[in-house]
Amino acid sequence: MFNNFDFSYIYLPIIYILIAIFFYTILSKIVDNALKINKLDKNKNILQIKREETIINLIKSIIKYVIAIITILVILNVFGIKTTSIIASLGVAGAIIGLAFQDTIKNLLSGMAIIFDNHYMQGDVVTINGFRGEVIELGLQTTKIKGYNGEVLIISNSNITSVINHSMYNNNLYIELPISKKVSLDTLETILKKVSKKLLKVKGVKKEIELLGIEKVNSNNYIYKIMIECAPESQFNINRQFMNLLKEEYEINKIEVPSDYLEVKTKK
């Protein structure tokens, strides 16, 4: 029964599949190693690195699909199916496939536009169609966003109508400090300069505090305004750290705050 059976129908497809897996693994490692080298470049900021990570994931997806298509065509050839005629007929079938898979094609084009136009990258905090969270996966078909409560939004790229990227630029944190008129301006600015040097050690602080000066004068106090440049999504932690450091300096210098609140504003 097995005398006329061609065993190449069994072992050749297996060999081709193993070769395809081997090539995909090697090419993926090459792409990953290229990314690791880029991360070592000190001249690149986090936005550039995230962009490269997203583009490399896109390249790996394209490599996977190309290798899969080539492998399928080679295996079909083993079974005597003329792949040349299949390729020739793709022109005619292209219109039919385009109509059948127009939503998929829209998602692919939208995904490429998002990546190359730098709308957002993997790791960015965004608000998409009213849902806010971190982009945990950006593919050619869909985008996955993880909310702060752990929920994950999976949305087709072509259905994304509005995007707010909260991670694209640094934030300016404005703080208004109510100060008693008994405290001299020189004393206050000396304290703020000490706090500024300590605050530089906090992650996300880009440079020393900018002293903007007196914002307004009331009957018993005046409002002094400062600005802190900080990394995206870090302003809330930096504000808390600043307040802790300021409190310590106030206690050392025996300065009382004339108001029970401090007004905080953020601006990009």
What single string gives the DSSP state of each residue in 84-115? HHHHHHHHHHHHHHHHHTHHHHHHHHHHHHHH
Q: Report pLDDT digits (tens) over 82-133.
A: 666 665 555 555 555 555 556 667 777 777 777 777 788 878 888 998 898 8
**160-181 residues labelled b (16+ CB within 10 A) or e (exposed):** beeeebbbbebbbbbbbbbbee
Q: What is the pLDDT of residue 41?
A: 55
> Around 106, how many Cα atoms within 13 Å sit in the side-chain half-sphere?
10
| Long-range contacts of 98-102, Cβ-Cβ distance < 8 Å, separation of 24 or more | none
The pTM for the full model equals: 0.50
CA distances from residue 124 to 52, 152, 187 in whole angstroms, order as listed? 13, 14, 41
Q: Tell me whether residue 233 is exposed, middle or buried, using C-beta atoms within 10 angstroms of its C-beta: 0 to 12, 13 to 18, 19 or more.
A: middle
Going from N- to C-terminal start, the domains of the chain cover 8-100, 119-165, 171-267
Residues 6+ apart with CB under 8 A from 191: 246, 249, 250, 253, 255
Q: Which CATH class is domain 119-165?
A: mainly beta
Mean pLDDT per block of 10 residues along the chain (268 residues) reads 61 87 88 65 57 73 84 82 63 54 70 76 86 84 87 90 82 88 90 93 89 87 91 84 91 76 52
Q: Topology of domain 171-267, per CATH?
A: Alpha-Beta Plaits (3.30.70)
Are 230 and 173 within 8 A, CB to CB? yes
Q: Whole-angstrom Cα distance, residue 53 to residue 35?
A: 7
CA angle in degrees (0–180, nearest 5) for 205-207-213: 110
Are 252 and 161 within 8 A, CB to CB? no
Identical topology for domains 119-165 and 171-267: no
Give me the torsion for CA of 131, 132, 137, 138, rounded to 10°: 70
Sign of CA dihedral 241, 242, 245, 248: negative
Q: Whole-angstrom Cα distance, residue 95 to residue 8?
A: 36
Q: What is the pLDDT of residue 259?
A: 53
